[in-house]
Amino acid sequence: MDIERPLSANERIKSASNLLRGTIADGLTHAETGALADDDTQLTKFHGFYQQDDRDLRAERGKQRMEKAFSFMVRMRVPAGILTPKQWLKVEKLAVERANHTIRLTTRETVQFHGILKGNLKPLMQGLHDDLMDTIAACGDVNRNVIATADPWRRDLHAQVSDLAREISTHLLPRTRAWHEIWLDEEKVSGGMIEDEPILGRTYLPRKFKIAVALPPHNDVDVFAHDLGLIAIVEQDRIIGYNVVVGGGMGMTHGEPETYPRTGDVIGFCRPEHAVDVAEKVVTVQRDHGDRSNRKHARLKYTIDDMGIERFTSLVNERLDVKLEPARAYSFTSTGDRLGWVQEADGSAHFTLFVENGRIRDRMMAGLHKIAELGVGRFIMTANQNLIIADIPAGSRAEVEALLREYGLDRPVGGLRRNAMACVALPTCGLALAESERYLPDLVSRLEDELNRFGLRDDEITIRMTGCPNGCARPYVSEIGLVGRTPGVYNLYLGGAHEGTRLNKLHRRDVDGDAIVAALSPLFESYAKERMGNERFGDYVIRSGAVKETTAGLNFHENLSAEVGN
Ligand code: SRM
Ligand code: SF4
């Protein structure tokens, strides 16, 4: 990397922040504005929250020369997405008392609260902490929430991948006490005690860093979309180790071909007892070699493409006490969740609840409240924005079933909707170019009409929409991807693998709802007639020549431009 290039503004902010304190504490006391100081709004991400404003109100307030309608989005850190019923009730209480009365399950197995006013931040953080939850490092240039395959019915295997997610998350947490000082009024670290960041470094990582642990054949976590992925290798019902995947990432910018989504490369295998160390060493190589000048080029995927995967792997191996072994065979079959009941031999059961785009409100919130009040089982958030009520004892199943029915939470959902994800986008996301969460449900209804015509209602097809090219719902690894360009207008991508192992490619540029339906309907029809055996829609559109196959990485934009105007 060219060390002459100036550091990005964020590097300066981090460096001057006294290990992430900045002037956040002072900013909370300024009641005359709903906002925080500009530099602090970068630092708050490391504490798990973003300053936002209601974009539906922006123009009107601008006309009236009023301050923007500032509020905050807070994201929790919940490794492997597992909460107790008591914690769920606390999350709900905080959403009602301190936020906008909704709970938003994210694509990374956690909760976001929206619409929090500045004065509610501290009570919210304290409320979480009282029930052993936090928001530390949920955002920012650090390792984010670590996610793991959410298959509780696989018992020991699920316990092991969840434990690993927790261990990695804890191991890579920032060591600064800033969060505890600001939000819990913990006594300030002063004089005697020197804080340091032995793993992340005093200016933290060049950019966000994401880790997922997958338990094949279920790729619910989209392991190839992460900076670091660990694929459990199971032999005789035991995890004997993990294949190590590096360099995945989704974000890109329209019109900037030097930015691109990339699926990760498998670089080797490690034993379970070495997995945390592998995570640490991959993180430290990125810490030392990632681009700190250009934030659009700072993710691990670019570090790897710049230096080459062989050099990256050898740098990791140099730092490891036990080197990576050759990767083992594995196979994935799906990314979607298994909705509905799974019955265990011992009488206990699990129920996976479909939560459209992760937004929980009104009757769903009330029904989940009643279920959580039973005090049984666990609440597991999935990387598909759904919720599993896991480990329901035999004696409680009837009660849970009755509540699901009473609150209308057990209704059947068609194959496309089951596999649909949308990012938040408008009105809270400051980067949204188009609607997503508020629009995809209607578009799916229109597409379902088409699918019904061709007898495909129950076929599992993944469809993902984002309001901008940052890729928060991982649209580039879905069979049908829609990426916002301007209000009402999207780029349509096709041909990702159903099991999340292949990027899709641009099929139509700048299409509105009508044009999306018009483009997909004939493909659904021919798929229904021509598919071979259990062929997936994403594979079919490639075999049929509707779109050409693309591999990961640098050729994304080349394929993209070659296909424009199809
Ligand atoms: Fe994301 C930024 C929401 C998962 C790539 N993402 C944002 C922000 C915070 C907007 C901002 O920076 O101002 C969004 C807040 C919207 C809001 O109002 O709530 C936001 N991202 C989300 C969530 C809530 C989408 C969802 O509907 O579930 C997901 C929260 C995950 C979590 O719990 O941590 C979310 N974001 C992702 C994913 C998917 C994943 O990680 O598996 C990606 C693609 C993978 C990746 O990181 O490469 C993703 N988000 C981004 C990017 C592009 C990063 C890049 O490398 O270019 C941004 C913008 C940025 O960082 O500059 C972004
Ligand atoms: Fe916002 Fe874009 Fe992420 Fe959607 S993909 S939440 S619009 S940053």
Distance from the CA of 310 to the center of ligand 2, in angstroms? 33
pLDDT at residue number 336? 98
Handedness of CA 411, 413, 417, 419 (dihedral sign): positive
Q: Kindly report which listed range (25-34, 452-461, 511-520, 553-562) carries the lowest average pLDDT score.
A: 553-562
Pairing of strands 480-486, 349-353: unpaired
pLDDT at residue number 558? 42
Residues 6+ apart with CB under 8 A from 118: 28, 34, 35, 36, 70, 72
Listing DSSP states for 544-566 in one string gives TTSS----STTHHHHHHHHHTT-
CA atoms within 13 A of residue 28's CA, in its CB half-sphere: 15
Distance from the CA of 546 to the center of ligand 2, in angstroms? 28
Please report which residue ranges of 419-505 form alpha helices under DSSP H: 440-453
Distance from the CA of 552 to the center of ligand 1, in angstroms? 20
Distance from the CA of 79 to the center of ligand 1, in angstroms? 17
Q: Are 435 and 483 in contact (CB under 8 A)?
A: no
| Ligand (nearest to CA of 261) | 1
For 372-406, how does the pLDDT look when each residue is reduced to its tens digit (9 = 90+)?
999 999 999 999 999 999 999 999 999 999 999 99
Specify the residue for token string 């049929």: 544
Question: Is the distance from the beta carbon of residue 523 to the nearest atom of ligand 2 less than 6 Å?
Answer: no
To test the ligand 2 pocket, which listed residue (52, 436, 491) has its Cβ within 8 A of the most ligand atoms? 436
pLDDT at residue number 554? 38
Atom 10 (ligand 1) nearest CA: 429
The token pair that represents 298 in the structure block: 């700072």
Question: Is the distance from the beta carbon of residue 487 to the nearest atom of ligand 2 less than 6 Å?
Answer: no
pLDDT at residue number 376? 98
* Listed residue (34, 496, 515, 516) closest to 219, CA to CA: 496
Please report which residue ranges of 19-154 form alpha helices under DSSP H: 24-28, 38-43, 58-63, 85-98, 118-130
Atom 8 (ligand 1) nearest CA: 429
pLDDT at residue number 550? 54
Domains for the chain: give ranges and CATH numbers. 142-185+198-335 (3.30.413.10), 347-414 (3.90.480.10), 416-558 (3.30.413.10)
Q: Are 48 and 137 in contact (CB under 8 A)?
A: yes
Distance from the CA of 428 to the center of ligand 2, in angstroms? 10
For 208-224, how does the pLDDT look when each residue is reduced to its tens digit (9 = 90+)?
999 999 999 999 999 99
To test the ligand 1 pocket, which listed residue (38, 107, 210, 357) has its Cβ within 8 A of the most ligand atoms? 107
Torsion, Cα of 18, 19, 22, 24 (10° steps): -140
CA atoms within 13 A of residue 307's CA, in its CB half-sphere: 22
For 507-558, how does the pLDDT look when each residue is reduced to its tens digit (9 = 90+)?
999 999 999 999 999 999 999 999 999 999 999 999 999 986 554 443 444 4
Would you tell me how many other CB atoms lie within 10 Å of the CB of residue 519? 17
Q: What percent of the chain has pLDDT over 70?
A: 95
The amino acid occupying position 91 is V
Question: Is the distance from the beta carbon of residue 432 to the nearest atom of ligand 2 less than 6 Å?
Answer: yes
pLDDT at residue number 549? 58
- Whether the predicted pLDDT of 189 surpasses 90: no
CA distances to 367, 373, 390, 394 from 399, in Å: 12, 11, 14, 10
> Which residue numbers are catalytic?
75, 144, 208, 210, 423, 429, 468, 472
The stretch 490-511 carries a mean pLDDT of: 97
The amino acid occupying position 496 is G
Distance from the CA of 471 to the center of ligand 1, in angstroms? 7
The stretch 344-371 carries a mean pLDDT of: 98
Specify the residue for token string 């009643």: 370
- Whether the predicted pLDDT of 239 surpasses 70: yes
Specify the residue for token string 């061709």: 454
Cα 262 to its chain centre, rounded Å, is: 15
Question: Is the distance from the beta carbon of residue 358 to the nearest atom of ligand 2 less than 6 Å?
Answer: no
* Percent helix, strand and coil across the chain, each to the nearest 5: 35, 20, 45
pLDDT at residue number 4? 73
Band of residue 195 on the pLDDT scale cut at 50, 70, 90: confident
Band of residue 191 on the pLDDT scale cut at 50, 70, 90: low
Band of residue 147 on the pLDDT scale cut at 50, 70, 90: very high
pLDDT at residue number 557? 47
pLDDT at residue number 187? 84
Q: Average per-residue pLDDT in the chain? A: 95
The token pair that represents 215 in the structure block: 């338990």
Specify the residue for token string 């949308």: 422
Report the pocket of ligand 1 as residue ranges, CB < 6 Å: 50, 52, 73, 75, 106-108, 110, 112, 144-145, 208, 210, 225, 249-251, 299, 358, 423-424, 428-431, 470-474
Atom of ligand 2 nearest to the CA of 425: 7
Record the pTM: 0.96
pLDDT at residue number 3? 53
Handedness of CA 429, 432, 438, 444 (dihedral sign): negative
Would you tell me how many other CB atoms lie within 10 Å of the CB of residue 93? 13
For 95-136, how does the pLDDT look when each residue is reduced to its tens digit (9 = 90+)?
999 999 999 999 999 999 999 999 999 999 999 999 999 999
Would you tell me how many other CB atoms lie within 10 Å of the CB of residue 535? 14
Q: What is the largest CA-CA distance in the chain?
A: 74
pLDDT at residue number 560? 42
